């Protein structure tokens, strides 16, 4: 047996949708999988060397799914192409988990549905915004109590793209979460409730004014901005250049702007200039929001 499985990068929170909203981006991790005499792992891609210092979540997820179904994972030759930047807030861990679950489902011939694989990924990750986007694609809402996500953008959706600034320096999710307060003021909770509702409805219906109004946050970005001083200047530059809004991607340090296609170049140039003025090294990448999530390639 030999096949390739792909899973996209994802951006979580999207401003006010903390641990709930996610989008899939056109940047892919891939794994070539083949049954073999012994298990071997080969790492490739820009951040491949970084993964040597981390637990291999692709194998972890494969073994987890095998255990859940009382099966033994056969020896495999695994070649991982890690194109999603590690520790940058673009869902590299979620992509790895999803790759592993889809690969194990294929190797073990379990025949599990996408919804069933999502529930396993949710248990492993703890929240569904990144893994939900990586599995289903598009823009999604992962709400507590649901066994699958709510798709906010279908395949015939209005044009909407992303521009991201990816810093060279990395950041760990646990550090970004440690910066958050235990309690928040009621007025900030109410503000975020309105903003997240506006953003969700905007993404669902294509109401660009609602998306723009919803790209604001008071739950996590004001606190994480102390860790990432480039966040506010890049968000402001993106809006001034025509973006619907900007936000911290996941737990950072990547900054993401939602844009209509005609504004991509202006927003990319503005974010690049703002990063240079802030003294932060990195790269700007326009990325499509992809409607297809993880999938097996013959």
13, 140: one domain: yes
- Domain limits at 67? 2-153
180, 83: one domain: no
**pLDDT score recorded for residue 121:** 97
Domain C-terminal end among 153, 177, 212: 153
Q: Whole-prediction pTM value?
A: 0.94
Is 85 contained in some domain? yes
165, 236: one domain: yes
Domain C-terminal end among 91, 123, 153: 153
Q: Which of 279, 192, 266 is nearest to 233 (CA)?
A: 279
Domain C-terminal end among 101, 123, 153: 153
Domain with 63 in it: what CATH number? 3.30.230.10
**pLDDT score recorded for residue 173:** 72
Q: Are 162 and 259 in contact (CB under 8 A)?
A: yes
Is 147 contained in some domain? yes
Is 18 contained in some domain? yes
Is 47 contained in some domain? yes
Q: What are phi and psi for residue 181, nearest 5 degrees? A: -75, 160
70, 132: one domain: yes
For 201-218, give the DSSP string.
Answer: HHHHHT-HHHHHHH---S
56, 135: one domain: yes
**pLDDT score recorded for residue 233:** 98
Is 215 contained in some domain? yes
8, 110: one domain: yes
pLDDT tens per residue, the chain (298 residues)?
999 999 999 999 999 999 999 999 999 999 999 999 999 999 887 765 555 556 789 999 999 999 999 999 999 999 999 999 999 999 999 999 999 999 999 999 999 999 999 999 999 999 999 999 999 999 999 998 899 999 997 555 678 999 999 999 987 777 778 888 889 999 999 999 999 999 999 999 999 999 999 999 999 999 999 999 999 999 999 999 999 999 999 999 999 999 999 999 999 999 999 999 999 999 999 999 999 999 999 7
CA distance 255 to 185: 25
Q: Are 281 and 168 in contact (CB under 8 A)?
A: yes
143, 10: one domain: yes
**pLDDT score recorded for residue 215:** 98
CA distance 286 to 256: 10
215, 125: one domain: no
64, 177: one domain: no
Domain with 233 in it: what CATH number? 3.30.70.890
**pLDDT score recorded for residue 181:** 87
Is 278 contained in some domain? yes
Burial of 29 (0-12, 13-18, 19+ CB in 10 A): buried
Burial of 262 (0-12, 13-18, 19+ CB in 10 A): exposed
Is 295 contained in some domain? no
Is 296 contained in some domain? no
Q: What are phi and psi for residue 244, nearest 5 degrees? A: -70, -25
Number of domains in the chain: 2
127, 172: one domain: no
182, 256: one domain: yes
**pLDDT score recorded for residue 50:** 53
- Reduced to 3 states (helix: H, G, I; strand: E, B; else coil), residue 261 is helix
10, 142: one domain: yes
């Amino acid at each position: 047996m030999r096949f390739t499985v792909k899973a996209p990068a994802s951006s979580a929170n999207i401003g006010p949708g903390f641990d709930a909203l996610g989008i899939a981006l056109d940047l892919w991790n891939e794994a070539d999988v083949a049954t073999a005499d012994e298990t071997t792992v080969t790492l490739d891609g820009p951040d491949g060397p970084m993964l040597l210092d981390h637990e291999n979540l692709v194998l972890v997820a494969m073994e987890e799914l095998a255990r859940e179904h009382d099966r033994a994972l056969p020896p495999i030759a695994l070649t991982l192409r890690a194109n999603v930047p590690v520790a940058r807030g673009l869902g590299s861990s979620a992509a790895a988990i999803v790759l592993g679950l889809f690969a194990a489902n294929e190797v073990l011939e379990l025949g599990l549905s996408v919804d069933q694989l999502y529930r396993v990924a949710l248990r492993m990750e703890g929240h569904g915004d990144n893994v939900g986007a990586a599995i289903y694609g598009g823009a999604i809402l992962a709400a507590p109590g649901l066994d699958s996500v709510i798709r906010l953008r279908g395949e015939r959706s209005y044009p909407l793209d992303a521009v991201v600034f990816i810093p060279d320096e990395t950041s760990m999710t646990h550090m970004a979460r440690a910066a958050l307060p235990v309690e928040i003021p009621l007025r900030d909770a109410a503000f975020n409730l309105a903003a997240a509702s506006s953003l969700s409805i905007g993404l669902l219906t294509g109401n660009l004014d609602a998306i723009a109004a919803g790209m604001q946050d008071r739950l996590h970005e004001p606190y994480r901005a102390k860790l990432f001083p480039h966040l506010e200047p890049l968000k402001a530059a993106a809006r001034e250049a025509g973006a619907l809004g900007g936000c911290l991607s996941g737990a950072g340090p990547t900054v993401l702007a939602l844009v209509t296609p005609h504004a991509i170049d202006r927003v990319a140039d503005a974010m690049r200039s703002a990063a240079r003025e802030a003294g932060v090294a990195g790269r700007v990448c326009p990325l499509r929001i992809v409607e297809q999530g993880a999938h097996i390639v013959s």
